[in-house]
């Protein structure tokens, strides 16, 4: 997750095109102080935005068929998921141009 976050930040920084990557990453503690990817996002606040949280009791897995029709249930998670946007200025401007109220609609917003 740290490498994926680092790659998204680097890609947004060097791109001359509009770039926005939305990530769904686990949060093992409420304040996210021990998640390396969260500290990386806090280091680049102009490129990273915590958009919201999906509580552990709100996330449901889809039934996924497995090989040879054997259904193996996924284990129940106990952590929340953070929705994170990593973008460059052009990407943020482009997204805002299509929906000016997008960032204002943050019903599940919880900045760390």
**C-alpha span between 67 and 20 (Å, rounded):** 35
Q: What range defines the domain where residue 27 resides?
A: 2-58+75-98
Count: domains in the chain: 1
Establish if 103 belongs to a structural domain. no
User: How do residues 44-92 score in pLDDT, each as one tens digit?
Assistant: 989 998 888 888 888 877 776 666 666 666 677 788 888 899 999 898 8
Establish if 29 belongs to a structural domain. yes
Establish if 69 belongs to a structural domain. no
Helix (H) or strand (E) holding 3: helix 2-14
Burial (Cβ within 10 Å: 0-12, 13-18, ≥19) of residue 38: buried
Establish if 104 belongs to a structural domain. no
**C-alpha span between 29 and 56 (Å, rounded):** 11
Question: For residue 107, is pLDDT > 50?
Answer: no
Establish if 105 belongs to a structural domain. no
Establish if 111 belongs to a structural domain. no
**C-alpha span between 65 and 80 (Å, rounded):** 25
Q: Which two tokens stand for residue 81?
A: 């998921």
């Amino acid at each position: 997750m740290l490498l994926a976050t680092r790659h998204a930040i680097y890609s947004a920084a060097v791109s001359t095109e509009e770039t926005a990557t939305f990530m769904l990453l686990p949060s093992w503690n409420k304040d996210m102080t021990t998640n390396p990817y969260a500290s990386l996002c806090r280091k680049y606040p102009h490129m990273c935005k915590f958009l919201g949280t999906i509580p552990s009791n709100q996330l449901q897995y889809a039934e996924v068929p497995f090989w040879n029709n054997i259904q193996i249930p996924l284990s129940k998670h106990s952590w929340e998921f953070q929705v994170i946007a990593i973008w460059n200025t052009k990407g943020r401007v482009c997204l805002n141009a299509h929906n000016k109220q997008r960032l204002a609609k943050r019903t599940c917003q919880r900045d760390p």
